[in-house]
Copies of this chain bind each other. A is one copy, B any other.
Amino acid sequence: MRDVAIIGVAQTKFGELWDSSFRDLVTEAGLGAIQDAQIEGNDLEAMFVGNMSAGLFVQQEHIASLITDNSGLNPVPCTRVEAACASGGLALRSGIMAVASGYHDIVISAGVEKMTDVVDSTGAIATASDQEWEAQQGVTFPSLYAMMARRHMYEYGTTREQLAMVSVINHSNAKHNLNAQYPFDISVEKVLNSSKVADPLRLLDCSPVSDGAAAVILCPAEDAKKYTDTPIYVKASAQSSGTIRLHDRKSLTTIDSSVNASREAFKMANMTPKDIDAVEVHDCFSINGLLAIEDIGFVEKGRGGPAIEEGMTRIDGDIPVNPSGGLKARGHPLGATGIAQAAEIVWQLRGEAGKRQIDGAEVGMTHNIGGTGGTAAVHIFSR
């Protein structure tokens, strides 16, 4: 098994991008990563693209072919991978395997979603849950995560204010991220006074509907210095499945797939949570930002609320979480998220994150969830 490195990254602006089509976005991200890696398009040997539902969002399947064609990259093989909001994480993992296997040397893993030009984005997103047992019964994602939040408050005394702090910290990081959808501060009070979506979650607890794309270029670790002075090495790539249906869980307050994928990643990298200097977690709703730091093992189960309140996850805290602004404030174009997380960690480890730079970050992690945790992908990277 060959070790793998990242030699180029790029991300489009995330947001309501009315002037950019699906194909525009992914081409922009791909070309950006190619430029960043200082390679040529025809150096690429394979492409992987994470995308949740171009079929429902823009009535386009076979996007792998569309993307290769529109980028002028035929006959390079391209494969779309999908696992709802974890599609990007899995595209990254597929690219890593393609290089590790020896099948390909220089590979691009991208992610893209165009969500704003559609009639029923909530309905499309709901297909990440179990259609027969959840979506058809009228359950949507805010309500599923609301139940997890309510139960966490009941079991551990987590407060509404602690949940709000997840969003507040995300926004305070996003204001230094030019690619973020919401690059401005918000307050706890503002979160608590925003409109109710699914009790106890309010509008500012929820990640937005976003357009965007991101891409990373991978190559064998042994070749990485040929392309860049600052390669970032993949230390672990782990993936785990959990129940797709929330009602089948042993617990509403633990996402087993997060726990399993994180444990496997730490084992693979021969590291512990203490080794991580920066982490991008999947905070599609504020409660998930809180569950993530418990499930990964940064704090004990139930201690997420107080830890966040005490500033542990701030950019100058013990374990800086979501320096990019996270799904809440950077934005959450579903298939792009897992790749954007990796791009942020690469910028952090290269020391290129500007005003949101975490001092001396040497090891970083990404945590990408599909649905309510039916899929989890966890990666660890180092300088």
Set of chain B residues within 8 Å of A94, measured between Cβ atoms: 79, 81, 94, 97
Which stretch of A53-61, A223-231, A295-303 is in the interface? A53-61
**Interchain CB contact under 8 A, A64 and B241:** yes
Bound complex: CA A69 to CA B374 (Å): 8
**A63's closest neighbor in chain B, by CB?**
B82
Contact A74 B127, CB 8 Å, known A52-B61, A375-B62: no
**Interchain CB contact under 8 A, A62 and B101:** no
A150 contacts chain B at the CB level, 8 A cutoff: no
**Interchain CB contact under 8 A, A75 and B240:** yes
**A256's closest neighbor in chain B, by CB?**
B75
A168 contacts chain B at the CB level, 8 A cutoff: no
What is the count of identical protomers in the complex? Answer: 2
Instruction: Please give the number of chain A residues whose Cβ is less than 8 angstroms from any Cβ of chain B in the complex.
Output: 61
**Interchain CB contact under 8 A, A75 and B128:** no
**Interchain CB contact under 8 A, A78 and B241:** yes
A19 contacts chain B at the CB level, 8 A cutoff: no
**Interchain CB contact under 8 A, B55 and A127:** yes
A52 to chain B, nearest CB (A): 6
Could you say which of B1, B75, B127 contacts A61, with CB atoms under 8 Å apart?
Answer: B127
**A244's closest neighbor in chain B, by CB?**
B65
Which stretch of A129-137, A184-192, A274-282 is in the interface? A129-137
* CB under 8 Å from chain B, chain A span 73-122: 73-84, 90, 93-94, 97-98, 100-103
**Interchain CB contact under 8 A, B102 and A83:** no
A197 contacts chain B at the CB level, 8 A cutoff: no
**Interchain CB contact under 8 A, B79 and A65:** no
Looking at A55, A73, A241, the one whose CB has the most chain B CB atoms below 10 A away is A241
**Interchain CB contact under 8 A, B82 and A61:** yes
**Interchain CB contact under 8 A, B102 and A66:** no
**Interchain CB contact under 8 A, A62 and B129:** yes
15 sampled A-B residue pairs with Cβ under 8 A: A1-B102, A53-B61, A61-B124, A62-B83, A64-B374, A65-B83, A65-B370, A66-B244, A73-B241, A74-B241, A75-B241, A78-B375, A81-B81, A81-B94, A101-B101
Given A56-B56, A65-B375, A78-B83, 19 other A-B contacts at CB below 8 A? A1-B101, A59-B131, A61-B128, A62-B82, A62-B244, A62-B371, A64-B82, A64-B374, A66-B130, A68-B241, A69-B245, A74-B257, A77-B240, A77-B241, A78-B375, A94-B94, A94-B97, A100-B101, A101-B101
Q: Which 9 A-B pairs have the closest CB atoms?
A: A65-B374, A101-B101, A1-B102, A77-B239, A62-B84, A100-B101, A68-B241, A55-B55, A61-B127
Q: Could you tell me which A residues sit within 8 Å of B by CB distance? A: 1, 46, 52-53, 55-56, 58-66, 68-69, 73-84, 90, 93-94, 97-98, 100-103, 124, 127-131, 135, 237, 239-245, 248, 256-257, 260, 370-371, 374-375
